[in-house]
Structure formats: structure tokens, C-alpha cells
Chain A
């Protein structure tokens, strides 16, 4: 059954209804689709591994705040509204410490930083997920900023 396709997340967040930038992105549809596909995959309810959806959204919200990219920060904050506030734990602290390092000073995300995650109980698949997630948000916030600037230029 087909339903009318909703525009991708970044279009909804930063582009106007009749923005010419929408057409520029359609001309690069493979990129727009894979950007949206990455977002959907990283926040899928059934993603393999032990990183919960709430943990992934907390990482995304924190990373967007640190950048800062206000539209994405607000989006991830809104998605967190359905969850009860997380308890402080060594696991969450390790996850958010790693997030801060990768967002602000990626070269400092060394082997020791990765070991801290494994010591906090994350498995290999979770470390891969977390690395991909923070790296994807680093891409997403820059694309959002670039699209907003292009929009202002029109």
C-alpha cells in the first residue's frame, strides 16, 4: 500500500515549502535517500546490539547541542519526550564522554577511549553503532548548516 512519501528529515527541518534547494537535493536523490536511510537505520527500533533507542537519541541530542545545530537538537529532544529521564550510570557516562570527544576533538578518540566503552559493558557491535552514530550526526549537522545557508542565499 502506498502512502504519499513524507519529505526527508532535513527537508522538513530546514527547508521552506517552495525552496529551490529542494530541487537541488532531488538532483542528488541518491545522496538524499542514503542520508535519510542512514537516519532511519541508526534509529531503528530493532537495530542489532544493546544500545537502546533512548541511548541513541540521547547521544544524537547531545551531539547536536555541542555542535550546535538548533533544528536537529530540537528534533532529537522532541523524540526523547516519550522516555522517562535516564538514571546516571557508568555506562551512560562512558557513552556521553565518548560522544563529546568524537564531536569536539575526534583525534582524541583513541584506543583508550574505545577501551573505556568496552569496560563499561558495550560489545563490539555497540561500539561500532556508537562510532557510526556520532560520525553520522557530525555529517548530518554540517549538511543541515549547509542547507540552511543555501536557503538563505536564494
Chain B
């Protein structure tokens, strides 16, 4: 991390997360649950988040397949721009934990955090280039008013050079954080100083 950001209650520091529900005791996990945890995330077996979601293993399996394909698949929209969209959605939905994780990922990929500082302070005007501003605007609009997004919103992205495959990647990255933020916000809370 080049410099710590602490803006409007959001941060790029590493936070912990604790569940409000009883987590599964790994010693009690059945083979299916162990397999799903291993497929989901390298740290899933020691994460309260995954040990909560594993109470419903097939749903977690499908969620993890979707999440990992959306965020890590090669080609298409750059991974940094996917992470930027994730950070914007998390900021707008006020998921402090998710915003911290994806601020860090953006910074690891892009080697800068200027746009993250802007997203934390005022997402509506954030973006260091017109392309970034278009991505940020679209992430806000699809998050807050999904029923109103139409072809006009996508034309702006096309004008900034995004191909249709990249636009679909962006839609996926925004939509999956409608999902991820709600789990993190509604099943537990961030822990500072972890």
C-alpha cells in the first residue's frame, strides 16, 4: 500500500469481518462443504464469511463460480477496471469492508490509488480520465437505478472505447457487487485493526 486512505469512513486498510450468525465448525463439515470451501477462496476455511455461507453449500458453490469468473477471467475489461467498478459499487452501497478489499486490489493492479481516493470522497465526480468517469457513472447508475439503465448509458461507454464484450464484463462486475455487498452488510460487520 503506497499510502493509507481514510476518507468519509472508508479506508484501504486491511479490515477483518465477523459474522452475526453461528459459523460452521470445520471439524463438523461434510466432504461437500470442505470441497466447496476449497473451491471458493484460498482462505475460506479460516474466514467467518465463508464459514457462514457454507451452511448452504450448493448456493455458495455457484456464487463462488460466478464471482471468480467475473473478477479473474482473462481478456475483456482490464482487471483493474473491474476492481474500480467493484470499489464504486461498494462505496455507493456503503459496504466499508468490500470497499477496503477492492481498493487494495485496484491499487495492486493499477499501481496507484488516486481514483480510489476520489471514489471515497465523492463517487459522483470520481475518475482521473473521461473513460474512468464513464465507468464510475455507469457503476453508480446500475447500482442505484437498475430499472432506468438503457442503451443511452452504454453509448457513453462505447464512445470511451469499450467494446461490447468489455461492457458485458463491466455489467457483470457491477451486478456481482450488488450481491457481494448485501452478504457482507447483512450477515456480519467489519472489524478494524485486524
Residues of chain A touching chain B, judged by Cβ–Cβ distance below 8 Å, are: 20-21, 24-25, 27-28, 30-31, 33-35, 37-38, 41-42, 44, 47-49, 67-69, 102, 106-107, 109-111, 113-114, 124-125, 127-129, 131-132, 134-136, 138-143, 145-150, 152-153
Q: B13-25, CB under 8 A of A: which get 1 and which 0? A: 0000000111000
Contact, CB under 8 Å: A102 / B186 = yes
> Given A38-B66, A111-B189: A142 and B175 within 8 A (CB)?
yes
Contact call A146/B182, Cβ cutoff below 8 A: no
A44/B58 contact (C-beta < 8 A), A28-B172, A68-B147, A153-B154 known:
yes
Can you give 29 A-B contacts (C-beta < 8 A)?
A21-B168, A28-B69, A28-B169, A30-B65, A31-B69, A33-B65, A34-B65, A34-B69, A37-B61, A37-B66, A42-B59, A47-B59, A48-B56, A69-B146, A106-B186, A107-B93, A127-B187, A128-B53, A128-B55, A131-B186, A136-B63, A136-B179, A139-B175, A139-B178, A142-B143, A146-B171, A147-B168, A148-B150, A152-B150
Q: Which of A47, A67, A106 has the most CB of B within 10 A?
A: A106
| Alpha-carbon distance A148/B61, docked complex (angstroms) | 27
Say whether, besides A28-B168, A31-B66, A150-B168, A38 and B149 are in contact (CB < 8 Å): no
Total contacts A-B at CB 8 Å: 163
Q: Are B186 and A109 in contact (CB under 8 A)?
A: yes
Bound-complex Cα distance A134 to B66 (A): 16
Q: How far is the CA of A83 from the CA of B149 in the complex (A)?
A: 33
> Which chain B residue shows the least CB distance to A68?
B147
Beyond A41-B61, A124-B55, A139-B175, 13 extra complex contacts between A and B, CB < 8 Å = A67-B147, A102-B182, A106-B94, A107-B95, A107-B185, A114-B186, A124-B21, A128-B52, A135-B178, A142-B178, A147-B168, A149-B150, A152-B150
User: B22 and A135: CB pair below 8 A?
Assistant: no
Whether A142 and B146, one on each chain, are in contact in the complex, defined by CB atoms closer than 8 angstroms, is yes
Q: Which of A69, A107, A113 contacts B94 (CB 8 A)?
A: A107
B56 touching A125, Cβ below 8 Å: yes
CB of B70 closer than 8 Å to a CB of A: yes
Contact yes or no, B22 A124, CB < 8 A: yes
Query: Which of A48, A135, A148, A149 is in CB contact (< 8 Å) with B182?
Result: A135
Q: Is B124 an interface residue (CB 8 A)?
A: no
Contact between chains at B158 and A153 (CB < 8 Å): yes
Contact B181–A106 (Cβ < 8 Å): yes
